[in-house]
Amino acid sequence: MMHIKFNPLLFIGALGSLIWGLFFGIQLYSSFGANQNIYWTPRTMPLQIDETKQSFELFIGGKSIHEHLSDKTLLFESTGNLNIVSSANIDIRLNNWHRVKSSFLTHALWSGMIFSSCFTLFVVGLFQALSTKHRNRQQDGLP
């Protein structure tokens, strides 16, 4: 008669691999398959040009936009009048996808490490279970 013995490594490894593998897969999908166009600064909360100096640079005619603003060399037409562009006239929206993706990938790194540990426990438990089964069969005189 075959006696099935509970193998905690196999159980913990299988359950952990299922749970953490699912988390890992979801985070990878979120990083590489998600809609990248939903992470823009809201239209109702645009940024001023001074708030975005570290995010991007805009050059017009070889000069940065900041130089043009300080030199007052940019003009725009409004109701037939030419006006000088100031920083108050410029609103900016940024796509923050790179920050969101970085956060997703950081979480994926941790869940991937836990998943791989659980999968290792599963494999070790599987080898233990198979070797125990093989040893029991040999003791019973079966091939």
- Percent of the chain exceeding pLDDT 70 equals 90
Cross-strand partners of 60? 63
Question: Where in the chain are the domains?
Answer: 12-38+95-124, 41-94
1 confidence band (pLDDT: 50, 70, 90): very low
- pLDDT number for residue 134: 66
Condensed to tens digits (0 to 9), the pLDDT of residues 29-72 reads: 999 988 888 899 999 999 998 888 888 889 999 999 989 999 98
How far is Cα 7 from Cα 126, in angstroms, rounded to an integer? 9
Q: How far apart are CA 49 and CA 70, in angstroms?
A: 12
Report the interhelical angle of 97-139 vs 8-32 (nearest 10°): 160
